[in-house]
Amino acid sequence: MIPTPHIEVKEKGIIAKTVLMPGDPLRAKFIAETFLENVIRFNTVRNIFGYTGTYKGRKISVMASGMGMPSIGIYSYELFDFYEVENIIRIGSCGAYTTDLKLYDVILCTQAWSESTYAKVQSGYDKDTIDASSLLNNKLEKIADDLGIIVHKEKIHSSDVFYSKNLDSYKEIYEKHGCTCVEMESFALFSNAKVLNKKAACLLTVSDNLVTHELTTSKERQQSFTNMIEIALEMAE
Ligand code: HPA
């Protein structure tokens, strides 16, 4: 069923087997324009830009996911199921639940924990934790090591709520479930990979800290995300 309701590509093979997914369409554009060669833009539906190009001569795609589990749920499902994508690596930002993590630290997600019903509604899966692909994670860890970039392997919280009125609820999620940081997409991405027998991983850069209330500006974020992006781009095949 291509094109899909949300991706306008009419042929298979235009989108690479490995897709990097930032949340922000302008970050997808920035990555394509800054790091890729021979770039084509394959999607503009809803301004969710998608690009394919080469990195050091190897093919890779980058497409935005939008924010939140429903959004990444749609785009990653269509890439996996209708465009024969094998690997999706989310690259995003997160808020730290502990002072052990500093602004700009790079996180490699081992597991996503969530109170979301996404996986239960999708497939009847009734647990609250889903693993990242260990195969992708092993490759990402090795790449980071070769590049001399430290990655922190962490269990993360995928939340549906950015503006919580319960300012202390993160403490329980940290203490009871062992989640050290929060973002809003990985649990759905990992659920899709699980039901479709595909592989997903997630690299994050710490953009704010819920304990100290420190945060980065959007300009600083764009620049500091280079470490994470360079790790992910090495997954090009
Ligand atoms: N909450 C949820 N998602 C996030 C945050 C946060 O504080 N920071 C970056 N992504």
Residue 63 host element (H or E): strand 58-63
Burial of 126 (0-12, 13-18, 19+ CB in 10 A): exposed
Spatial contact of 76 and 200, defined as CB atoms under 8 Å apart:
yes
Encode pLDDT of 49-99 as tens digits: 999 999 999 999 999 999 999 999 999 999 999 999 999 999 999 999 999
User: Which ligand 1 atom sits nearest the alpha carbon of residue 94?
Assistant: 9
How much is the pLDDT for 194?
98
Q: How confident is the model at residue 199 (pLDDT cuts 50, 70, 90)?
A: very high
User: For the chain, what is the mean pLDDT?
Assistant: 96
Name the residue at shortest CA distance from atom 9 of ligand 1: 94
Q: How confident is the model at residue 135 (pLDDT cuts 50, 70, 90)?
A: very high
Query: 37 C-alpha vs ligand 1 centroid, how far in Å?
Result: 31
- Over residues 125-144, mean pLDDT: 98
**Higher confidence at residue 199 or residue 168?**
199
Q: Is the pLDDT of residue 141 over 90?
A: yes
SS3 content of the chain, % helix, strand, coil (to 5): 35, 30, 35
CA-based nearest residue to 15, from 73, 75, 104, 74: 75
Q: Is the CB of 86 under 6 A from ligand 1?
A: no
How much is the pLDDT for 230?
96
CA-based nearest residue to 45, from 7, 17, 100: 7
- Over residues 225-237, mean pLDDT: 95
Query: 162 C-alpha vs ligand 1 centroid, how far in Å?
Result: 6
Q: How confident is the model at residue 219 (pLDDT cuts 50, 70, 90)?
A: confident
Q: Is the CB of 179 under 6 A from ligand 1?
A: no
Q: How confident is the model at residue 222 (pLDDT cuts 50, 70, 90)?
A: low
Spatial contact of 114 and 158, defined as CB atoms under 8 Å apart:
yes
Q: Is the pLDDT of residue 5 over 70?
A: yes
Query: 56 C-alpha vs ligand 1 centroid, how far in Å?
Result: 32
Spatial contact of 19 and 9, defined as CB atoms under 8 Å apart:
no
Q: Is the CB of 208 under 6 A from ligand 1?
A: yes
How much is the pLDDT for 223?
63
Q: Compute φ and ψ for 60, nearest 5 degrees.
A: -155, 150
How much is the pLDDT for 2?
92
Q: Is the CB of 95 under 6 A from ligand 1?
A: yes
Residues annotated as part of the active site: 208
What is the residue type of 99?
A: T
- Domains, the chain, in order of start with CATH, read 18-233 (3.40.50.1580)
Q: Is the CB of 93 under 6 A from ligand 1?
A: yes
Q: At what angle do helices 69-82 and 186-196 cross, to 10 degrees?
A: 30
Tell me if residue 1 falls in helix, strand or coil: coil
Q: Is the pLDDT of residue 220 over 80?
A: no
**Higher confidence at residue 209 or residue 223?**
209
Q: How confident is the model at residue 224 (pLDDT cuts 50, 70, 90)?
A: confident
Pocket test for ligand 1, best of 162, 163, 181 (most atoms within 8 A of CB): 162
